[in-house]
Amino acid sequence: MDGTFSYSTKFFLQLFTIHGFENGHYVPLAYCLLKDKLSMTYKHLFSLLKSKIFETFELSLEPTEIFVDFEKAIHCALLSVWPNVKISGCRFHLHQNWFKKIQSLGLVQEYKDTNSEIGKWLRHTFGLTYLNPVDVEDCFVYDLMSYKPKNASLDLYADYLLENYIIDSALFPPHIWSNQNPSIARTTNACESFHSRFNSSFYSTHPSIFTFIEKLKEFQVETYVKINSLKIPAKVKDNTVKAKLVFMEKMVDKLRSQQICRLDFIKAISYHSYNSK
């Protein structure tokens, strides 16, 4: 699930869409116009969806895992409606957040310099996202910090990771974002792709509600076609993405079989995890 803002219809802040995932296919399931980004609004939305599905289909909506951005208001609302749901943070957005912090600290040139020890260390931190959650804090504290170059800005970046992502009491602790599965399914990119295509169908931002609804109807025709194809597993078509996934799966297997140590694992996999433009 994810939201888009610029092309939401007038009088609403965002179009919030919820996609389902089946056999490698992402399918839009709900289009929601929301007035704000408050936790109480998200809670009302999720509660309404749950009750409407039961009233209409006599089915209990009990998702087991939901992939979402790092927005605390959504997380709190989800847990309020579904206390046992597993919330998984979008890996791509996590990496974006970390890179934005690198930018704000003036470390981008170091990050992009393949010969820089500071740059190498920064990149290695991105490999943490492919560890089991229970290993993240130890790897950061005992492995990564053991060779961190001395640099004031780097100290601030390390503190940022520690306080917001690494320790169990962090704003977004490892169990939300860390997983050894390298699958491309662990992102909200399908929602973003849908929003990008949907937004490009308008000539100006914040269209009228009538134009907005008509466009949604057009997109829904595509959705019906996709639903009829769900039984056929989707395949990764991009050869670069295929090669990346194969490499990552091999590295995960080597770590699990103890052919490589934890630190060597995150170093190797970090160079395939996030590339900034």
pLDDT at 185: 52
As a whole number of angstroms, the distance between CA 28 and CA 23 comes to 14
pLDDT at 47: 98
pLDDT (tens digit per residue) in 251-268: 999 999 999 999 999 999
Q: What is the mean pLDDT of residues 172-198?
A: 79
pLDDT (tens digit per residue) in 105-151: 999 999 999 999 999 999 999 999 999 999 999 999 999 999 999 99
pLDDT band, very low/low/confident/very high, at 274 (cuts 50, 70, 90) = low
pLDDT (tens digit per residue) in 37-63: 999 999 999 999 999 999 999 999 999
pLDDT band, very low/low/confident/very high, at 234 (cuts 50, 70, 90) = confident
**How far, in whole angstroms, is CA 239 from its chain's centroid?**
22
Q: What is the mean pLDDT of residues 218-232?
A: 87
pLDDT at 42: 97
Instruction: Provide the terminal-to-terminal Cα distance of the chain, rounded to the nearest Å.
Output: 25
pLDDT at 200: 85
As a whole number of angstroms, the distance between CA 209 and CA 215 comes to 10
Q: What angle do CA 242, 243, 246 make, to 5 degrees?
A: 85
- Helix 262-270 to helix 239-256 angle (10° resolution) is 170
Q: Tell me how far CA of residue 63 lies from CA of 3, 44, 46, 81, in angstroms.
A: 19, 17, 11, 11
Query: Quick check: 183 pLDDT over 80?
Result: no
The domains located in the chain, with CATH, are 2-89+187-227 (3.30.420), 91-175+239-270 (no CATH)
pLDDT band, very low/low/confident/very high, at 192 (cuts 50, 70, 90) = confident
pLDDT band, very low/low/confident/very high, at 169 (cuts 50, 70, 90) = very high
As a whole number of angstroms, the distance between CA 82 and CA 61 comes to 9
Higher pLDDT, 183 or 177: 177
Higher pLDDT, 181 or 275: 181
pLDDT (tens digit per residue) in 197-208: 888 888 888 889
Q: Read off φ and ψ for residue 244, nearest 5 degrees.
A: -65, -45
pLDDT band, very low/low/confident/very high, at 276 (cuts 50, 70, 90) = low
As a whole number of angstroms, the distance between CA 56 and CA 53 comes to 5
Query: Quick check: 189 pLDDT over 80?
Result: no
Closest CA to 175 of 67, 87, 81: 87
Query: Quick check: 209 pLDDT over 80?
Result: yes
Cβ atoms of residues 215 and 8 within 8 Å: no
pLDDT (tens digit per residue) in 61-107: 999 999 999 999 999 999 999 999 999 998 888 999 999 999 999 99
As a whole number of angstroms, the distance between CA 2 and CA 67 comes to 9
Query: Quick check: 237 pLDDT over 80?
Result: no
Query: Quick check: 188 pLDDT over 70?
Result: no
